[in-house]
């Protein structure tokens, strides 16, 4: 975590498990919400929000208590991300991606180097990023062009990544790479890369329709480090058991936050219309009732999926089953579709007021952020993967 002033480090409050969601919601209301407009307009990193989360010790919420973290559940973090997604989707996405990497370290990193890093993460509230995509793979995160080079004093890797979200603001990056130069593209490992052994050369800019504050530019990455920074389990196993399900769950949580705020704004609009003509039901009230029903289905879907992961999280056989994989992929496709549907319906309810950028009922940013959901690991790719798994699935 970057110091707030030269030579000083912020005091970190250790938020205990059970209060994580409430404290995330407080940061969302007090810090993320007021900064959201400028973060979006300037396409800048939401530094004030991340600093506020770090000051509460929330960057280590998922780190077990034995390493000094809160030991929070996924359900708590999911609930907090809904609150953050309501106020600033870019801030929520940064935190979600960070927590995906923390979960990978907690569940799959067992070397002394990685365990020491978890303690350091807690003490210094370090921010983690991820480099899984690579030029030359066609967007397939399950294959790598670059390879880990093992040397006498550690490892070396070079990777051309078309996207590394908030890399310039991260304290460390988890990078996928082939296990060795002789390994096939799918034989991957995940390695923790950090300064002073990490060099980043930015390639291109980040000027997008939505999620502008994630600052997801391309980089040429060069890194060296100790072999203990390589996670123990193969990346394929990490991906199936943790990274992919966790990603779909936390992303869906913040998308639910976007949808929830859109419905809240639509409700306030209809209530304002009703006050103009007491005793008369506004024309949009029925649409509001309908979209509220859809939002409840969305909410139940996310909560059910989170509960399912928590039930299965210590059972690798169930986490890697076809049924679980199809379910997590289906969650992502459904949630990324629903968030757009809900926001668009709310725009119909609010009418021109939602289309204006200077209106208290503006939903322009909500729609622009929502449209990116189906493109983060393209839904067509996920559906094709599901189709392949379903063909191989046996009847139970």
The CATH number that applies at residue 223 is 2.40.110.10
**What is the band of 84 on the pLDDT scale with cuts at 50, 70, 90?**
very high
Domain that holds residue 344: 235-392
Contacts of 166 (CB under 8 A, 6+ apart): 45, 94, 97, 127, 129, 214, 215, 216
Boundary of a domain, candidates 229, 253, 280: 229
What's the pLDDT score for residue 11?
60
248 plus 386 within the same structural domain: yes
241 plus 368 within the same structural domain: yes
Structural domains in the chain (count): 3
Residue 343: CB atoms within 10 Å: 28
**Packing angle of the helix pair 364-371, 89-108 (nearest 10 deg):** 40
Indicate whether 90 belongs to any domain: yes
Closest to 35 (Cα-Cα) out of 216, 2, 27, 265 = 27
Percentage of the chain with pLDDT > 70?
Answer: 96
Region 123-152: mean pLDDT is 94
Region 97-104: mean pLDDT is 98
184 plus 270 within the same structural domain: no
Task: Give per-residue pLDDT as tens, 305-345.
Answer: 999 999 999 999 999 999 999 999 999 999 999 999 999 99
Boundary of a domain, candidates 82, 112, 127: 127
Given a cut of 50, is residue 8 above it in pLDDT? no
State the Cα–Cα distance between residues 148 and 342, nearest whole angstrom.
44
Region 67-79: mean pLDDT is 97
Indicate whether 2 belongs to any domain: no
Boundary of a domain, candidates 200, 229, 258: 229
What's the pLDDT score for residue 6?
45
292 plus 144 within the same structural domain: no
218 plus 302 within the same structural domain: no
Region 261-269: mean pLDDT is 98
364 plus 328 within the same structural domain: yes
62 plus 159 within the same structural domain: no
Indicate whether 145 belongs to any domain: yes
């Amino acid at each position: 975590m970057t110091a707030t002033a030269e030579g000083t480090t912020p005091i970190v409050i250790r938020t205990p498990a059970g209060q994580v969601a409430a404290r995330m919601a407080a940061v969302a209301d007090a810090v993320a919400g007021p900064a959201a407009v400028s973060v979006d307009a300037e396409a800048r990193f939401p530094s004030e929000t991340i600093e506020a989360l770090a000051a509460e010790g929330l960057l280590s919420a998922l780190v077990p208590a034995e390493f000094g973290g809160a030991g929070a559940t996924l359900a708590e973090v999911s609930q907090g991300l809904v609150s953050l997604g309501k106020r600033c989707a870019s801030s929520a996405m940064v935190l979600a991606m960070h927590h995906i990497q923390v979960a990978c370290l907690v569940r799959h990193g067992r070397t002394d180097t990685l365990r020491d890093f978890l303690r350091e993460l807690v003490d210094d509230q370090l921010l983690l990023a991820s480099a899984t995509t690579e030029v030359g793979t066609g967007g397939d995160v399950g294959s790598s062009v670059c390879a880990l080079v093992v040397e006498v004093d550690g490892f070396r890797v070079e990777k051309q990544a078309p996207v590394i979200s908030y890399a310039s603001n991260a304290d460390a990056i988890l990078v996928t790479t082939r296990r060795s130069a002789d390994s096939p593209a799918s034989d991957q490992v995940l390695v923790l890369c950090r300064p002073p052994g990490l060099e980043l050369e930015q390639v291109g800019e980040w000027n997008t329709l939505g999620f502008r504050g994630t600052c997801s530019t391309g980089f040429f990455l060069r890194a060296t480090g100790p072999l203990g920074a390589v996670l123990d389990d193969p990346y394929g196993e990490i991906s199936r058991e943790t990274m992919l399900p966790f990603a779909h769950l936390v992303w869906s949580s913040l998308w639910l936050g976007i949808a929830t705020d859109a419905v809240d704004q639509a409700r306030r609009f209809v209530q304002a219309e009703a006050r103009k003509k007491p005793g008369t039901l506004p024309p949009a009230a029925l649409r509001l009732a309908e979209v509220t029903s859809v939002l409840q289905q969305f909410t139940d879907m996310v909560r059910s999926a989170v509960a399912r992961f928590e039930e299965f999280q210590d059972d690798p056989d169930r986490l890697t089953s076809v049924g679980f994989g199809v379910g997590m992929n289906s969650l992502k496709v459904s949630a990324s579709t629903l968030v757009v549907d809900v926001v668009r319906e709310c725009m119909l309810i609010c009418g021109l007021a939602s289309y204006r950028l200077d209106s208290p009922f503006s939903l322009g940013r909500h729609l622009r952020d929502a449209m990116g959901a189906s493109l983060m690991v393209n839904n067509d790719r996920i559906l094709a993967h599901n189709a392949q798994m379903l063909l191989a699935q046996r009847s139970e």
